Structure formats: C-alpha cells, structure tokens
Amino acid sequence: MTVERESTSTSVVDPGPTWGEYYRQMSLIRAFELRAAEMYQRAKIGGYCHLNLGEEATVVGLMAALEPRDYLFTTYREHGYALARGLEPGPVMAELFGKTTGVSGGRGGSMHLFDRKVRLLGGYGIVGGQIPPATGAALALTYRGEPGPNAEAVMCLLGDGTTNIGAFHESLNLAALWHLPIVYVIVNNGLGMGTPVDRSAAEPDLYKRGCSYRITGERVDGDDVIAVRDAANAALTRARAEREPGLLETVSNRLRGHSVVDPAKYRSKQEAERLRALDPVHAVRARLIAEQVLDEDTARRIDEEAEARVDAAVAFADASPDPDPATLFQHAYATAVPNAPHRLPADPVVPVPELLP
C-alpha cells in the first residue's frame, strides 16, 4: 500500500550523549567544508568541488540511520557523508588534494570518494549516475540472504533535479517490481543548480513521485537531525524486514552556490540573508545551549576540536605525496587486457618490432 505523508513533527532534545555527538559531527562537517572552499581558492583542490554547507543536519541524520552493514551511494556533494560515515578527515582532504593517501588514491577527487570498508560505494559525477548501480546492489542483496531485521539495505542519495531523469523512474519501477531493499533519498535544497524546483518539476512535492510505483513517500524537515534520522530509520527498517523500497525527501538549503565557483547570483540579497538565518548548525547549537544540553564552553570546545581536526587534515594532505605519473593507467581495468594504454603525453613513440617490415 502506498503512503504519502509530510512530516511536521519537531524532535525533542534528549539530554543524553546523542545530541552532543550529532552536533560534534555537524560542526566537523561545517569546518571541513569551509576549509575545502578555502583550499579550492588557493588552488590546492582541482576539478569540481560541491559542498554540504547548510545540509549538515540532513547528512548527520541520514548517516545515523544507516547500520555499518548497509551500503551507501551518494551524489557528487558527498564530503559530509564520508565524514559522518566514519572516514577520517585527513584521507578525505587528501583525496580532494589529489594525493596518494586519499580515500581513492587521489584518482577520484571531490566527486568520487569511495571506501568499501565503510560500504561507501562512491560519489557519482554524472547526475543520476548512482541510481542504477544502487538499484543493482539492492538486487544483489536479495540473492545474499532473506529479509529480516538484521538484513542489509542500500541508501541511494540524489538531488531534487535528478528526479526528472529517466534512470530515476526506471529504477523506482524495478525496485517496486522486484521488492528491493533500498531507500532513495531526495536531498531537496530547493535548486537544481540555479533552477528552483517549482520551475523544473510539474509535481514539486517530490516525495509524491513514489506513488506511481506504489512506493511509500515521505517529506521531512532536513534541518531537524532527529526527524531525518527517524524517518530514514523507519524506511530502512521496512526495506530490511519487508523488502519494501522507500522514497524519502529531506528539505534543506545549501548556503552557497551549486559549486565552489558558483557565486549564486540568482539569489537576492534578502534570500541569502534569510537562508543564513536558517543555518542548521547555528540553530542546533543555540537550541542545545538554550535547553541546557550543552553549555557555551562545551559547544566552543566542540567547535575548536573540529577546527583542529581540519587543520590536521590539511597538514596531512599537504605533506602527502602526489601520484607518480607512471601509474596513470593503473586501475583502468580490473585485469590485464591487450593493447592497454601505457604511453604518457610527450613520451617518444616506440616502434613495435612485430609491426615493422
């Protein structure tokens, strides 16, 4: 049976250690992303670089719902997810720097973080490129064991603009037909690059799109870490125990442009100020202090610890070696193949003896 609902609940602050840990993760992600923007401007980071600034509550809530045995496929806006999944800031920053100590050996950069130990199976640079592989991984899980509370599941992240491509609809259709243990999460930050959702989607309530495939859809406040965690946990529980795929829409705001080089001039000054006032990291910090879960000194120590960890990550990345150009074509194929490329640009052309007269 298809369920469509929009969550309006507000989470209750638990005075236990959970809230403090969630804020610690959010503070680390914020510090890391601000430093990544700085390092990009200093030309330490090449290629593309997309930040989670403003989406920290969504990131932490989703990762809190995942079990270590679950699999994660992300978009190219994935630094925060890697950190919240348990990767150390040093190797993540080193990957952004293109160093051999990076989580993908310096070959992936910002958009292609990967670590099979934590079952992070990649950020994907192509919009929607992660959806078919994630759906395939969920199909593979159906061959590995029976459904139940201890079964494995897949979480597949996508942006709001991705819901308009064919792979989204094809994958949801197959997931419903084949009863796959997967939860698709639409991280709706209101803009597909610079285009508002209501100008690109005839049905802007994106969670309702699951109804075409009889998939349960739900929308939650992406700035409420507990609401996100609980909704994701419920969807994952159904996926594991009942092989019921789910569609979750989390609504948040990115505080910067689409990428580091996007000045976001499509936003008015008033809109930019409104979004800054909704900053989830500042909001959670203020709320925890107001409700005496944290005091000012503890919150400041958490922020200072995050800054220190990011300082160490930058130092680690700076000190790490660059890849040897001679290894450029390594890992291009899983096994050796005939005629694999091996010559670098400007290398002399070496005659192949068997081709000479």
Domain with 296 in it: 4-353
Extract the tokens encoding 267.
């936003």
Instruction: Please state, in angstroms and rounded to a whole number, the distance separating the CA atoms of residues 336 and 334.
Output: 7
pLDDT, average across residues 321-338: 86
Extract the tokens encoding 252.
């948040």
Maximum Cα–Cα distance for the chain, whole Å? 85
Q: What is the pLDDT of residue 278?
A: 83
Q: Kindly report the CATH number assigned to the domain that includes residue 181.
A: 3.40.50.970
pLDDT, average across residues 192-217: 86
Strand partners, 120: 72, 115
Question: What 3-state class would DSSP assign to 92?
Answer: helix
Q: Measuring CA to CA, which residue among 56, 108, 112, 110 is closest to residue 84?
A: 56
The backbone region for 54, taken as left when phi is positive above 0, alpha when psi lies in -120 to 50, beta otherwise, is left
Q: Measuring CA to CA, which residue among 116, 112, 109, 110 is closest to residue 85?
A: 116
Lowest-confidence region among 75-84, 191-200, 228-237? 191-200
Q: What is the pLDDT of residue 1?
A: 44
Over residues 126-143, the pLDDT tens digits come to: 999 999 999 999 999 999
Over residues 4-54, the pLDDT tens digits come to: 666 655 565 555 558 889 999 999 999 999 999 999 999 999 999 989 889
The mean pLDDT of the chain is: 89
Instruction: Please state, in angstroms and rounded to a whole number, the distance separating the CA atoms of residues 326 and 346.
Output: 13
Burial 218-249 (b: 16+ CB within 10 A, else e): bbbbbbbbbbbbbbbbbbbbbbbeebbbbbbb
pLDDT, average across residues 171-176: 97
pTM above 0.75, yes or no: yes
- Tell me how many domains the chain contains: 1
